[in-house]
Amino acid sequence: MREIFTMWRDTRMIMLVAVVAAVYAAVLLPFKLFTIIPGITSVRPANVFPVIFSIMFGPAAAWGAAIGNLIGDIFGGTLGPGSIFGFLGNFFFGFVGYKLWGNLGPLSSGDEPDMRSGMQIVEYLAIAVASSAVCAAIIAWGVDLLGLVPFTVLGPTIMINNTLAAAVLGPPLLYLTYPRIKEMGLLYPEVMESGDLSAFGFAQPTVAGFGFLVVSLVWLALGTYALPPGSTGQMVLGAVGFVLMVVFGVIGSQGLPAVMDRTGIH
Amino acid sequence: MGTSEQDDGIAARLRRVLFSYDREATLPSPEADADDAAPADPDERGGAVLRGVDLDILEGSFTVVMGASGGGKSTLLRTLNGIIPGFISGSFEGDVTVLERDATTTRVPEMARGVGMVIQDYEAQLFGTSVATEVAFGPENLAVPPAEIDDRIDRSLSIAGLEGLDLRRSPDALSGGQKQRLVFAGVLAMYPELLVLDEPTSDLDPAGSRETLSVIGRLADGADGTDGGTGAWDGPGTIVMVTHKIEEALLADHAVLLRGGRAYRSGPAEEVFTDIEALRASRVAVPPLVEAFDRLGVDDPPLRVEEAAELVAETDLTWQPPARAGDPLPGVPAGTGETTGDVLFEISDLVHEYDTGDGAVRAVDGLDLTVHEGEVVAIVGHNGSGKTTLAKHLNGLLDPDRGTVTWDGRDLRDVRMSEVGRHVGFVFQNPDHQIFAATVEEEVAFGPENFGLAGAELDRRVADAIETVELDGLEDADPFNLSKGQRQRVALAGILATDPDVIVFDEPSTGLDAQQQATFMDMVARLNREEGVTVVMVTHSMSTVAEYAPRSVVMVDGRKVADRPTRELFADGPALAEWDLRPPQPVALANRLADQQGLDGALPALSVDELVAGLQGGDGQ
Amino acid sequence: MSTSPSLYVDRDTAIHRLTPRAKLALVSGLFVASYVFEHPLAVAVPLVTSFVALVWVGGWANFRRLRVIVVALFVVGLVVWPLFTPPGGPVVLSTPVLDVTRQQFLVALGRSERIAAFIVGGLLFVTTTSNEEIVSGLRSLGVPYAFCFAVGTALRLFPTLLGATGTVKQAQQARGHDLDAGSPVERIRNYVPLLIPVFMTAIRNVQTQSMALEARGFDTRGERTFYGQRTFGAADWVVAAFGLALVVGSVVLRYVVGVGTV
List pLDDT tens digits, range A140-173: 999 999 999 899 989 999 999 999 999 999 999 9
Stretch (H or E) spanning B569: helix B566-571
Is the pLDDT confidence value at B445 over 80?
yes
- Which of the four pLDDT bands, split at 50, 70 and 90, describes residue B43? very low
| Co-location of B99 and B156 in the same domain | no
Report how far residue B166's alpha carbon sits from residue B168's, in angstroms, rounded to the nearest whole number: 5
**Packing angle of the helix pair C145-174, C131-140 (nearest 10 deg):** 150
Give rounded-to-5 percent helix, strand, coil for chain C: 70, 5, 25
Residue B438 Cα, gap to closest chain A Cα (Å): 6
Contact list in B for residue A175 (CB cut-off 8 A) is 438
**Nearest chain A residue to C8, by CA:** A75
Mean pLDDT score across all residues of chain A: 92
Residue C147 forms contact with A (CB below 8 Å): yes
Is the pLDDT confidence value at A8 over 60?
yes
Cβ contact B230:B53 at 8 Å: no
Residue C145 forms contact with A (CB below 8 Å): no
CA B584 to chain centre: 14
Is the pLDDT confidence value at C257 over 50?
yes
User: Amino acid identity, residue C80?
Assistant: V
Is the pLDDT confidence value at C217 over 50?
yes
Q: Is residue B232 part of a domain?
A: yes
Choice among A37-46, B193-202, B399-408, B423-432 with the minimum mean pLDDT: A37-46
Decide if B481 and A176 are in contact by the 8 Å CB cutoff.
no
Is the pLDDT confidence value at B541 over 50?
yes
Report how far residue A231's alpha carbon sits from residue A238's, in angstroms, rounded to the nearest whole number: 11
Cβ contact B515:B546 at 8 Å: no
Report the pLDDT value the prediction gives residue B230, as an integer from 0 to 100. 57
Residue pairs spanning A and C at CB distance below 8 A: 209
Report how far residue B307's alpha carbon sits from residue B295's, in angstroms, rounded to the nearest whole number: 17
| Co-location of B542 and B619 in the same domain | no
Is the pLDDT confidence value at B512 over 90?
no
- Which of the four pLDDT bands, split at 50, 70 and 90, describes residue B6? very low
CA A216 to chain centre: 12
Contact list in B for residue C167 (CB cut-off 8 A) is 428, 430, 433
> Which of C71, C166, C192 lies closest to A169 in CB terms?
C192
Rounded to whole angstroms, what are the CA distances from B543 to B154, B211, B432?
A: 38, 20, 25
Report the pLDDT value the prediction gives residue B97, as an integer from 0 to 100. 96
Q: Which of A171, A57, A50 is nearest to A114 (CA)?
A: A171
Decide if A186 and C203 are in contact by the 8 Å CB cutoff.
yes
Contact list in A for residue B481 (CB cut-off 8 A) is 183
**Nearest chain B residue to C172, by CA:** B434
Residues B552-590 have pLDDT tens digits of 999 999 999 999 999 999 999 999 999 989 999 999 999
Interface test with A, best of C109, C155, C170, C172 (most A CBs within 10 A): C155
Report how far residue B566's alpha carbon sits from residue B549's, in angstroms, rounded to the nearest whole number: 7
Choice among A124-133, C35-44, C84-93, C136-145 with the minimum mean pLDDT: C84-93
Stretch (H or E) spanning A87: helix A82-93
| Co-location of B294 and B282 in the same domain | no
Is the pLDDT confidence value at C250 over 90?
yes
| Co-location of B178 and B226 in the same domain | yes
Output phi, psi for A98, to 5 deg: -80, -20
Decide if A22 and C154 are in contact by the 8 Å CB cutoff.
yes
Rounded to whole angstroms, what are the CA distances from B104 to B85, B88, B238?
A: 6, 12, 20
* Mean pLDDT of all residues in B599-605: 93
Report the pLDDT value the prediction gives residue A38, as an integer from 0 to 100. 62
Where b means 16+ CB within 10 Å and e means fewer, B522-540 reads ebbbebbbeeebbbbbbbb
Contact list in B for residue C216 (CB cut-off 8 A) is 112, 125, 127, 137-138, 141, 186-187, 190
Q: Beta-carbon neighbour count of residue B392 at 10 Å?
A: 22
Report how far residue C18's alpha carbon sits from residue B121's, in angstroms, rounded to the nearest whole number: 36
Decide if B133 and C228 are in contact by the 8 Å CB cutoff.
yes
Contacts of A29 (CB under 8 A, 6+ apart): A72, A75, A76, C5, C162
- Please, where are the H alpha helices in B222-354? 246-249, 269-273, 276-281, 288-295, 305-314
Residues B275-290 have pLDDT tens digits of 999 999 998 989 999 9
Q: Which of A161, A166, A140 is nearest to A152 (CA)?
A: A140
Stretch (H or E) spanning C159: helix C145-174
Interface test with C, best of A75, A153, A180, A225 (most C CBs within 10 A): A75
Residues B456-481 have pLDDT tens digits of 999 999 999 999 888 999 999 999 98
Domains: count for chain B = 4
Residue A73 Cα, gap to closest chain C Cα (Å): 9
| Co-location of B223 and B135 in the same domain | yes
Contacts of A212 (CB under 8 A, 6+ apart): A96, A99, A100, A130, A134, A245, A248, A252
- Which of the four pLDDT bands, split at 50, 70 and 90, describes residue B112? very high
Report yes or no on whether pTM surpasses 0.90. Answer: yes
Q: Beta-carbon neighbour count of residue B22 at 10 Å?
A: 15
Contact list in C for residue A29 (CB cut-off 8 A) is 5, 162
Residues B320-358 have pLDDT tens digits of 999 998 899 999 999 999 999 999 999 999 999 988 766
Residue C188 Cα, gap to closest chain B Cα (Å): 16
Is the pLDDT confidence value at C35 over 60?
yes
Burial environment of residue C259 by CB neighbours within 10 A (0 to 12, 13 to 18, 19 or more): middle
| Co-location of B545 and B426 in the same domain | yes
Strand pairing class (B424-427; B502-506):
parallel
| Co-location of B119 and B211 in the same domain | yes
* Degrees, nearest 5: CA angle C40-C44-C50: 150
Query: In sequence order, what are the beta bridge partners of B92?
Result: B19
ipTM confidence:
0.94
Contact list in A for residue B436 (CB cut-off 8 A) is 176
- Ranked by mean pLDDT, the top range of B87-91, B166-170, B234-238, B442-446 is B442-446
Q: Which of B103, B9, B93, B16 is nearest to B57 (CA)?
A: B9
Residues A160-207 have pLDDT tens digits of 999 999 999 999 999 999 999 998 999 999 999 888 888 888 889 999
* Mean pLDDT of all residues in B374-379: 96
CATH for B521: 3.40.50.300
Q: Give the three-state DSSP class for B437.
A: coil
Q: Give the max Cα distance, chain C.
A: 71
Cβ contact B391:B555 at 8 Å: no
Q: Give the max Cα distance, chain A.
A: 52
Query: In sequence order, what are the beta bridge partners of B537?
Result: B378, B505
Decide if C215 and B81 are in contact by the 8 Å CB cutoff.
yes
- Please, where are the H alpha helices in B142-205? 146-159, 176-188
For B444-465, give the DSSP string. HHHHHHHTT--HHHHHHHHHHH
- Which of the four pLDDT bands, split at 50, 70 and 90, describes residue B222? confident
Report the pLDDT value the prediction gives residue C29, as an integer from 0 to 100. 96
Cβ contact A45:C239 at 8 Å: no
**Nearest chain B residue to A181, by CA:** B480
* Domain span at B617: 287-328+583-621
For residue B85, say if its preceding peptide bond is cis, omega within 30 degrees of 0.
yes
| Co-location of B611 and B565 in the same domain | no
Is the pLDDT confidence value at B515 over 90?
no
Choice among A32-46, B110-124, B416-430, B450-464 with the minimum mean pLDDT: A32-46
Cβ contact B507:B540 at 8 Å: yes
Residue A25 Cα, gap to closest chain C Cα (Å): 7
> Which of C122, C153, C202 lies closest to A79 in CB terms?
C122
Report the pLDDT value the prediction gives residue B427, as an integer from 0 to 100. 93
Residue B481 forms contact with A (CB below 8 Å): yes
User: Would you give the DSSP letter of residue A74?
Assistant: H
Contacts of A54 (CB under 8 A, 6+ apart): A61, A62, A65, A93, A94, A95, A96, A97, A98, A131
Contacts of B117 (CB under 8 A, 6+ apart): B77, B80, B81, B187, B195, B196, B197, B198, C212, C215
Report the pLDDT value the prediction gives residue B1, as an integer from 0 to 100. 39
Report how far residue A120's alpha carbon sits from residue A112's, in angstroms, rounded to the nearest whole number: 8
Stretch (H or E) spanning C171: helix C145-174
Strand pairing class (B62-66; B238-242):
parallel
Is the pLDDT confidence value at B214 over 70?
yes
Strand pairing class (B323-324; B602-603):
antiparallel
Cβ contact B438:B478 at 8 Å: yes
Is the pLDDT confidence value at B223 over 60?
no
| Co-location of B422 and B540 in the same domain | yes
What number of CA atoms fall less than 13 Å from residue B27's CA on the CB side?
21
User: Would you give the DSSP letter of residue C97?
Assistant: S
46-75 of A, contacting C, C-beta below 8 A:
46, 48-49, 63-64, 67-68, 70-71, 73-75
Q: Give the three-state DSSP class for B53.
A: strand
* Degrees, nearest 5: CA angle B139-B213-C154: 45
Which partners does chain C have (≥3 C-beta pairs < 8 Å)? A, B
Residue C184 forms contact with A (CB below 8 Å): yes
For residue B146, say if its preceding peptide bond is cis, omega within 30 degrees of 0.
no
Instruction: Choose the final residue of a domain: B205, B236, B267.
Output: B236
Q: Which of C166, C185, C200 is nearest to A173 (CA)?
A: C200
Cβ contact A68:C202 at 8 Å: no
